[in-house]
Amino acid sequence: MNQKKTVFITGTSSGIGKAAARYFSDKGWNVAATMRSPEKDTDVKLYPFTKVYKVDVTDTNSILSALKMAVSDFGQIDVVVNNAGYGVDGVFEAMSESVVHKQFDTNVFGLMRVTRAFIEYFRVNNIKGHIVQVASMGGRIAFPLYSIYHGTKWAVEGFTESLQYELAQFGIRVKLVEPGAIKTEFYGLSRHFIKPENTTDYDNFVAKCEKLSSETGKNGDDPSGTAATIFKAANDTSNRLRFATGKPAPMLLLLRKLVPDRVWFFIVRSSYKI
């Protein structure tokens, strides 16, 4: 009988992370579900084979502590899912340096901290583990008013694509999951929208972009579909790197690859009526 596998997932308090914790649990895996405020959790801790740990990805010590506890509780971790993150959107001119820094500290440097910790864990223990990065279709295409969010996701894509080469020698596989529009708090409570207070010059542009962004959020896919894709990536032993999921990601990513810049820009401008 094979030993039960264990997954370590960041950002499981809501959205894709929570759905992934449930999905792996339903598949019979042990789940080390991490979140910044586990004391607020009322349901993830009740999932079968699941334990909840405190992790703030901007704090290396909390990552290492949770990793150590999860290994103690489950014996071995086979997969890490880097899901923790949030979105800042709005007018770049109005964004302070601290806002930009916080966005990158969570979405990029936080992901890198977790990745580094698990590379060492897998390598030292000779575990042929999987590192699954939850990126975005916004890591390869870009839309208005998401400049720094796209900056973080494009960084994750480039970082991960390069990383695969140095980790292959250890049998460690890295995967990128690229969700499209998903119904999560990305469009709701966790959204951080920034608009200039000292000028109305952007108002018309923002209003047009907001209209489409709002509609996109309402019509997004359920996060369970992305959870299924994460599970697929976590079990994939081929050299496939990218897994697009959730409408309209597969279609838009293919389109972006096929058409020249000027055509793509025209499509985006027309969609937003800008």
Q: pLDDT tens digits for 35-51?
A: 999 999 999 999 999 99
Per-residue pLDDT at 236: 98
Per-residue pLDDT at 221: 87
Q: pLDDT tens digits for 89-138?
A: 999 999 999 999 999 999 999 999 999 999 999 999 999 999 999 999 99
Per-residue pLDDT at 3: 80
SS3 (DSSP) at 218:
helix
Binning pLDDT at 50, 70 and 90, where does residue 1 land?
very low
Contact yes or no for 167/118 (Cβ under 8 A): no
Going along the chain from its start, the domains and CATH numbers come out as: 6-272 (3.40.50.720)
Strands (E) across the chain are located at 6-9, 30-35, 50-54, 79-82, 88-90, 130-134, 173-179, 192-194, 242-245
Per-residue pLDDT at 219: 78
Q: Is the pLDDT of residue 11 over 90?
A: yes
Percentage of the residues of the chain whose pLDDT score is greater than 70: 96
Distances (CA, A) of 191 to 39, 95, 108, 147, 194: 22, 14, 17, 14, 10
Residues designated catalytic? 149
- Mean pLDDT over 145-156 rounds to 97
Q: CB-based contacts of 76: which residues, under 8 Å, 6+ apart?
A: 3, 6, 125, 127
Per-residue pLDDT at 187: 54
Give the pTM. 0.94
Average of per-residue pLDDT values in the chain: 94
CA distance 30 to 50: 6
For every residue of 164-212, DSSP letters joined together read HHHHGGGT-EEEEEEE-SBSSGGGTTT-EEE--SS--TTHHHHHHHHHH
Contact yes or no for 76/125 (Cβ under 8 A): yes
Binning pLDDT at 50, 70 and 90, where does residue 188 land?
low
Distances (CA, A) of 62 to 56, 65, 154: 6, 5, 26
